[in-house]
Structure 1
Amino acid sequence: MLELAVAVALIALNGVFALSELAVVSSRKSRLRSMVEERRRGAHAALALAEEPGRFLSTVQIGITLVGILSGAVSGAALGERLTGILVDAGLAKGWADTIGYGLVIGIITYLSVIIGELVPKHLALRDPEGVACLVSPSMRLVSRVAKPAVWLLDASTRAVFRLIGQETESASAVTEEEIRHLVAEAETAGVIETGERKMIAGVLRLGDRAVRGVMTPRTDVDWIDLHRDDDEIRAAILASPHSRLPVAEGGADNMIGVVQVRDLVKPLMAGEGIDLRRHVRRAPVLPDTLDALDALNALQAAEVPMALVHDEYGHFDGLVTPADILDAIAGAFHSEDPEPEAVQRADGSWLIAGWMPVDEMADQLGIRLEASRDYETAAGLVIERLQRLPETGETCDISGWRFEVVDLDGRRVDKILVTRLTEDASAA
């Protein structure tokens, strides 16, 4: 039964190569680097193989090819002859015995090769790719060094063919943002993370794509103080505002000079003294409205007071941004005493959306795709961009299978939008 033992050994060896191939290819390099830092045995070798997939795949292919040739030439032929002899001794004709004997041997070896040499090892590799890669990589590196000339030839030939067809052997990108979103969604479905965590992760990803104008409080909603006002007007403005910090201007909103903290003014306000507002003004960073929201967060962290003034390219005051605005973008808006929800779903499945709702949050809510490069940040901006003008009440536009209808205007500002899913007939029309 030596031939049978050789056949089983070769099939098992083929399984080792298949196991190694899928484990290393499926391993995440970030996880392997962490294992290297943890001094996990075999992790350094696994990372080295993952960094050079061309050489590793050539090594595996050489091993699998040699195993297949030996299995067919040695074990298959010997076992076929032995089974043919058994069938002839049992009284079967020589021609039939040869056909049946070799056919059975080929079928059995093929079946075992698929199950033991491919499917079972690959399923094992997928269960813990990094762990298996650490286990088998030292041996695979040794095989790669022994077969270095053949590995070099195969790798060089593969690269040459790729150059002829104008392609690169390296993958274009390791991980995309879309893949991260899908991974997080799968983790939520599997119960690994909670729904709130998934929403916050999505908010962080959205924040990285926003300009600061997409998270700021717009100028029309900002309470501010003018130094040119008299003390009574300034006192009334401070007492009427619910905010703990207020921007201060000199003559007009486009000439902001800093920020005042209301707590610094409590004592003179309570004592009825005159307010020397200029003495309490603190410097605040001035940011262009095109700055990334993450860069704005860095500026807030380094600022004397956690408030930044946002201006456009012409120097006009556009609004202000605070840590609360950044937190709103990540975790969602907080309701005030007079809450105005961003989006409300009605009984018929339509949505009543605030014009100021961030357009990327709206797109996630409705399941629509937006162009990566855009000049608007809100749902109202999307409607205006599609209409190419300021809309009137009742005007509509169709976007990605939804109909957007302007149902309320606040002056020239789009205040409320009714979004209804289009039927197939309406879409066709």
Structure 2
Amino acid sequence: MFTEIAIVVFLTLLNGLLAMSELAVVSSRPVRLKILADQGSRGAATAIALAQDPGRFLSTVQIGITLVGVLSGAFSGATLGARLSGWLVEQGLSASMANGLGVGSVVVAITYLSLIVGELVPKQIALRAPEAVAAKVAPGMKLLSRVALPLVILLNGSGKLVLALLGQSGSSDEKITDEEVRTVIAEAHSAGVIEAEEQEMISGVMRLADRTARGLMTPRRDVEVIDLEDDPAEIREQLRHTQRSRLPLRKGSSDEIVGVVVVKDALDGLLEGRPVDIEALAREAPVVSDRTSALTVIEKLRRAPARMVLVYDEYGHFEGIVSSGDVLEAITGVFEDEETGEPAIIEREDGSYLVSGWMPIDEFAHAVGLGLDKEPDYETVAGLVIDTLRHLPSLGENFAVGGFHFEVVDMDGRRVDKLIVRKLPS
């Protein structure tokens, strides 16, 4: 009897090992397995190979689990159940009652053991450290797959045939989405792996790739420009008092930027008392369309002698500039202006938000949790207002979109300056 009990316990443990192997390999993250494999783990490399052919791997596991189940059922009912029934008869019970009680008790006991030792505990172990478990069990699963190769081929082929009849290719889309990456980052922050500031900057980098030159640029109205037709004394005063390190050059009211001057180059001559030809000091700046992707703009910015990119629209009108500071703000968030001290967004005591119209729409959506189209036709909160209303708003005009209520509370001429944004009740 002890031999039969030992066999049942062994089969239960084997079932648990198979269940743990299945869940560990399926739930392992390929990136982590790749890291372990690069560090010399042969088991991780084997686990990657198993995961790349899930049909064959699952067929192997199912063969093992089914075989264990059949053997365990045979021993529990025919052997242990019969022995317990015979013992109960010796104790004075009737044959029918002893048979039912003996077999039933053994089935219940083995079922309970199978659920705990053969399923729940192994699967919890696999979920806690899937990559480590997968690396350890993968060689054994590969060996089992070779031993049961004919049955594995039969089951795998049959499974693919049924999938084809159901209109499924049998392949899955394993591409990682932006939302999944953000979820992983949020989990890392919750676990204390990264700081809140690091999380925000990583999110900023992800948003940066979705922007265009228009979403990165400092708009034309905020760009300080040197007019070459101004009096030289006026130009010298502008150079002395500017807070910028580089300034675009233009001639009169022309929309054409003729170059970019590095302020230090001009000040060196002024401090030495030499006459300075500003136009001669001009450096070339590349020109991009306002719809150019942010990554392309950054690549051009890296190669630009003036460390500045000029942005023009499809009609050839100058729209703004992109500097390294604009790229940094896209990652870390907009810096407050020292003169105005105007933040992009302020959360008020009642839970509403005071929002500047110039705030980038992706940063605003991230801050308040607003869902947006994949590629909106606007770059700022003001653009969202105009795109929704389809006209230039008037003071006090309001509307609702995406579960939020927007109210225009300040206009700067024809520019949407300030809004109050409230989240609507569910």
Same fold, judged at TM 0.5 (above): yes
The equivalent of 1:427 in structure 2 is: none
Distance 2:6 2:305 in 1: 78
Q: Report deviation, 1:273.
A: 3.6
Paired residue for 1:365, among 367, 373, 380?
Answer: 367
Unaligned runs of 5+ in 1: 425-429
| Aligned residues of 1:288 and 1:311 also touching (Cα < 8 A) | yes
Amino acid paired to 1:407: V
Q: What is the distance in 2 between the residues matched to 1:352 and 1:336?
A: 17
**Equivalent position of 2:230 in the other structure:** 229
* Counterpart amino acid of residue 139 in structure 1: G
CA–CA separation in structure 2 for the residues paired with 1:391 and 1:23:
57
Q: Give the match for residue 126 of structure 1.
A: 127
For the 8 Å contact 1:18–1:121, the answer to whether it is kept is yes
**Alignment partners' CA distance in 2, 1:274 and 1:406:** 50
| 2:391 paired residue number | 389
Gapped regions of structure 2 (runs ≥ 5): none
Q: Is residue 391–residue 406 contact of structure 1 (8 Å, CA) maintained in 2? A: yes
Q: Tell me if structure 2 keeps the 8 A contact 1:231–1:274.
A: no
Give the CA deviation at 1:270. Answer: 2.3
Q: How much has 1:24 moved relative to structure 2? A: 0.5
Note the C-alpha offset of 1:68.
0.6
Question: Per the alignment, in what secondary structure is the counterpart of residue 42 of structure 2?
Answer: coil
Q: Is the 8 A contact 1:311 1:318 kept in 2?
A: yes
Match of 1:355 in 2: 357
- Distance in 1 (alpha carbons) for counterparts of 2:299 and 2:13: 56
Greater shift, 268-277 or 209-218, is seen at 268-277
Rounded to whole Å, the distance in 2 between the matches of 1:392 and 1:273 is 53
CA contact 1:7–1:76 (8 Å) conserved in 2:
no
Instruction: Give matches, 1:132-147, under 5 Å.
Output: 132-147=133-148
Tell me how far apart the structure 1 counterparts of residues 136 and 128 of structure 2 sit (CA, whole Å).
Answer: 14
- The 1-side partners of 2:59 and 2:417 are apart by 62
The aligned counterpart of 2:403 is: 401
Instruction: Give the whole-Å Cα distance in 2 for the aligned partners of 1:139 and 1:245.
Output: 65
Deviation at 1:373, TM superposition (A): 2.1
Distance in 1 (CA, whole Å) between partners of 2:124 and 2:353 is 45
Aligned to 1:268: 269
| CA-to-aligned-CA distance 1:365-400 (integer Å, 9 cap, x gap) | 222201112100100000100000111111111112
Q: Helix, strand or coil: the match of 1:42?
A: helix
Secondary structure in 1 matching 2:170? coil
Kindly, what percent of the aligned residue pairs are identical?
Answer: 52
Opposite residue 189 of structure 1, the aligned amino acid is S
For the Cα contact (< 8 Å) 1:253–1:317, is it kept in 2? no
Correspondence 1:270-285 to 2 at 5 A: 270-285=271-286
Question: Separation in 1 of the partners of 2:63 and 2:254?
Answer: 73
Query: What amino acid sits opposite 1:111 in the alignment?
Result: Y
Secondary structure at the residue paired with 1:115? helix
1:5 aligns with 6
Q: Rate the CA distance shift 1:18–1:216 in 2: closer, same or farther, 3 A.
A: same
Counterpart CA distance in 2 for 1:182 and 1:346 is: 27
Q: Structure 1 pair 25/253, CA: closer, same or farther in 2 (3 Å)? A: farther
C-alpha distance in 2 between matches for 1:316 and 1:237: 25
Amino acid at match of 1:342: A
Change (3 A) 1:272 1:393: farther
Distance (Å, rounded) in 2 between the aligned partners of 1:394 and 1:54: 61
Aligned-partner Cα distance in 2 for 1:360–1:401:
16
Range moving further from structure 2, 168-177 or 129-138: 168-177
- Alignment match, 2:342: 340
Q: How big is the shift at 1:148?
A: 1.6
Distance 2:319 2:369 in 1: 30
Aligned-CA RMSD value: 1.5
Task: Label 1:144 to 1:253 Cα distance change in 2 as closer, same or farther (>3 A).
Answer: farther
| Shift, 1:227, TM fit | 2.6
Query: 2:172 & 2:384 partners in 1: Cα distance?
Result: 35
Measure the CA separation in 1 of the matches of 2:78 and 2:293: 69
Show the 5 A alignment for 1:23-422: 23-252=24-253, 254-338=255-339, 339-422=341-424
Contact 2:220–2:321 (8 Å) recurs in 1? yes
- SS of the residue 1:373 aligns to: coil
Using the size of structure 2 for normalisation, the TM-score is 0.96
Query: Deviation of residue 11 (structure 1)?
Result: 0.7
1:251 positional shift: 4.3
SS in 2 for 1:344: strand
CA distance in 2, matches of 1:10, 1:342: 64
Question: Distance between the aligned counterparts of 1:423 and 1:128, measured in 2?
Answer: 41
Structure 1 residue 291, shift from structure 2 partner: 1.6
CA deviation profile, 1:229-278 (whole Å, cap 9, x unmatched): 33223223323421010112244452112211000011222244432112
> Is contact 2:17–2:118 with CA below 8 Å preserved after alignment?
yes
Contact kept, 8 Å, 2:228 with 2:251, in 1: the verdict is yes
